[in-house]
Amino acid sequence: MFKKVTPVLIVDAIEPVLPFWQALGFEQVVAVPHGEHIGFVILVRDSVEVMYQSVASVREDTPATLSGPRPLGAAAIYIEVDDFEGVAAKVPKDAEVVVPRRVAPYGSTEIFVRDPAGNVIGFAQPAS
């Protein structure tokens, strides 16, 4: 039986993404060093968990995940929220807005922004 899904975003460096998530109220609950930098981190707020791992750390830990027919690239994650306005107000002002606030065809109010590592992060509140 499936219990939960957590994205692990593989990035060049973790430190630049931390202020983005901290501005949204996420707490760093695990940080694994890799040399002089963070190699892996778990960020949590409410029941939402996001993980990041550095490319250098992955190369040592699970190098097979970096090979294959598709090159490693940016990812997108979609996070459902219950207070869209509150979350949207906390998105850092310097975050690139990829898709401005909109009501999607399926009724959700949403916005998509880019984190400092280039991943697209969507925040959405379903229609009532």
CATH at 103: 3.10.180.10
Sheet of 37-45: strand order equals: 8-11, 48-54, 37-45, 27-34
Residue 58 lies in a domain: yes
Render pLDDT for 18-30 as a digit per residue (tens, 0 to 9).
999 999 999 999 9
Structural domain including 56 reads 8-125
Identify whether the C-beta of residue 52 lies closer than 8 Å to the C-beta of residue 13: no
CA gap 115, 87 in Å, rounded: 15
Residue 3 lies in a domain: no
Identify whether the C-beta of residue 60 lies closer than 8 Å to the C-beta of residue 10: no
Render pLDDT for 27-57 as a digit per residue (tens, 0 to 9).
999 999 999 999 999 999 999 999 999 999 9
27-34 and 37-45 strand pairing: antiparallel
Residue 112 lies in a domain: yes
| Total tally of structural domains belonging to the chain | 1
Residue 2 lies in a domain: no
Residue 61 lies in a domain: yes
Q: Could you tell me the pTM of the whole model? A: 0.91
